[in-house]
Amino acid sequence: MNKPVWLSERVQWIGAFDPDMRSFDVILKTPNGTTYNAYLVRGSEGVAVIDTVKAECADQFFARLEAVCTYAEITTIVLNHLEPDHTGALPELMRRAPQARLYISQSAQLMLKALLNRRDLDFTAVSTGDNVSLGDRNLRFLHTPYLHWPDTQCTYLEEECILFSGDVFGCHFCDERLFNDKVGDFRFAFEYYYARIMRPFREHVMKALTLIDPLPINMIAPTHGPILRDQPTRYLQRYRELSGQRLHKELNAGEKTLIIFYISAYGSTTRMAQAIRDGAEQVAGVRVSLYDMEGGDADLFIDLVEDADGILIGSPTINGDAAKPLWDLLSAFSMVNVRGKLAGAFGSYGWSGEAVQMLEGRMRGLKMRVPLDGVRVKLIPSAEELELCVQHGRTVGEHLTGSNAPRVIDMADLLASRQPEVESNATLTRE
């Protein structure tokens, strides 16, 4: 019970098994639990503990640790990632081994203070190129931020070519056999973990791979799931594939894609969507696609959303709100990186018409850029209003291609836009 596992003569797994956990971080299902992987590295002149475990599993961690070293021997504690499932046992470890020096990434400094709520903290902040010596074993740090928090880093054991990777290359899969050549089929867990945890940060994954690629790798030792000792570079390759272009690029060079998602009760928002498409297509180098969300679920579109340059969402206003399928769509956007994409909303309404601004607000909240006020039409669009939609589509297309004329705007106009309407709507709703 609670025995450590040897990765090599000098490296032991001292983590914890959590087979009964069924959901993780709210966003992941964990149908067979998870592991919290912590490691111990013994050098001729020091012992390092790399990461810890969730507080509730601390007993397992300390039992395994005590089986391979005494607290007085620990010279070094490395934290690759500060999330509580890896730092839960840290305060108690620091109490038992007060002489150990703490090594964290530069970006982890403020987080550590907020996590431990201690003022007297002493630690060393490290980045790529820094290392710590344990005598005949040396740990080298790699600055690999945003995988999946700003603080994340990887630690490389030079003499044994083991990469302690933190959450990256991990997965939620609890199997006491622990090594990838021994455990059950965990491919699903590996892919799912990437999709839900790493995918929004795929650009950072690529940067990290660039740092990792030149290193000879015998073993990847992540903080969750199997230790990857059989063909470890396959997992690096898989991450490279997953972080690359998801859809085959069919566009001509420089062409921009605009996706219009909409839903319509009586066809008015549909006609607006079509008119906006017609306008945007008049701009050279813009390719537009229309999707009626009545015919699709949010998850279907996530690859397209990730790849799109611009996204417009059209919704009627129903009971003072945008329609649910569009909120569902927007709630799926955080599965990918939509930051900085051009965005906008439009829609027909019968009474007060709040949907457009609510959708714009949500998309701004997702750090998309919304440079234009969306078109709103009361009930059935007239020929003039449809022409307005065409013009609006053209302007959106010009913004996408960067062919729009430079604008000079007064702050007062910017602040005034839509404000009176909001007030009158509020009055109307109260009546």
Partner 1 sequence: MSKYNITFADIGATVSVPRGTRIVEVAEKVGASIPFGCKENDCGECLVEVLQGVDNLSTPSALEIELLKQKFAKPGCRLACQAMVQGDVTLKPA
Q: Does 153 bind partner 1 (CB under 8 A)?
A: no
Nearer of residues 58 and 368 to partner 1, judged by Cβ: 368
Minimum CB distance to partner 1, residue 406 (Å)? 4
Q: Does 340 bind partner 1 (CB under 8 A)?
A: yes
What is the Cα–Cα distance from 231 to 220, expressed in whole angstroms? Answer: 10
Q: Does 411 bind partner 1 (CB under 8 A)?
A: yes
User: Which ranges of 213-340 does DSSP label H, i.e. alpha helix?
Assistant: 232-243, 268-281, 302-307, 324-332
Site string for partner 1, 364-403 (x = CB under 8 A): x--x-xxxx--------------------------x--x-
Cβ-proximal residues to 380 (8 Å cutoff; 6+ apart), any chain: 266, 268, 348
Q: Does 409 bind partner 1 (CB under 8 A)?
A: yes
What is the Cα–Cα distance from 78 to 137, expressed in whole angstroms? Answer: 14
Nearer of residues 23 and 417 to partner 1, judged by Cβ: 417
Single-letter amino acid code for the residue at 190 = F
Site string for partner 1, 281-320 (x = CB under 8 A): ----------------------------------------
Handedness of CA 139, 143, 144, 148 (dihedral sign): positive
Q: Segment contacting partner 1 (CB under 8 A): 39-47, 162-170, 258-266, 339-347? A: 339-347
Minimum CB distance to partner 1, residue 106 (Å)? 6
Instruction: List, in sequence order, every beta strand (DSSP E) within 11-98.
Output: 11-13, 16-18, 23-24, 28-29, 34-36, 39-43, 46-50, 74-78
Minimum CB distance to partner 1, residue 16 (Å)? 31
Describe the crossing of helices 355-365 and 324-332 by its angle, rounded to 10 degrees: 10
Which of 9, 407, 419, 420 lies at the binding interface for partner 1 (CB under 8 A)? 407
Q: Does 223 bind partner 1 (CB under 8 A)?
A: no
Nearest-CA neighbor of 324 among 292, 293, 364?
A: 293
Nearer of residues 63 and 211 to partner 1, judged by Cβ: 211
Nearer of residues 48 and 258 to partner 1, judged by Cβ: 258
Q: Cβ distance 145 to 127 under 8 Å?
A: no
Q: Segment contacting partner 1 (CB under 8 A): 26-34, 115-123, 271-279, 409-417? A: 409-417
- Quote the tokens at residue 71: 């607290």
Chain residues 348-367 in contact with partner 1, contact rule CB under 8 A: 364, 367
How far is the first Cα of the chain from the last one, in angstroms, to the nearest whole number? 69
Which neighbouring-strand residues pair with 102? 77
Chain residues 80-119 in contact with partner 1, contact rule CB under 8 A: 106-107, 109-110
Q: Cβ distance 347 to 383 under 8 Å?
A: no
What is the Cα–Cα distance from 196 to 257, expressed in whole angstroms? Answer: 25
What is the Cα–Cα distance from 264 to 277, expressed in whole angstroms? Answer: 16
Q: Does 129 bind partner 1 (CB under 8 A)?
A: no
Minimum CB distance to partner 1, residue 416 (Å)? 11
Determine the size of the site formed for partner 1 (CB under 8 A). 25
Return the ∠ at Cα 73 (arms to 70 and 75), rounded to 5°: 135
Which of 248, 408, 420, 431 lies at the binding interface for partner 1 (CB under 8 A)? 408
Minimum CB distance to partner 1, residue 112 (Å)? 13
Q: Does 410 bind partner 1 (CB under 8 A)?
A: yes
What is the Cα–Cα distance from 186 to 396, expressed in whole angstroms? Answer: 45
Contact residues toward partner 1 (CB under 8 A) are 106-107, 109-110, 339-340, 342, 364, 367, 369-372, 399, 402, 404-411, 414-415
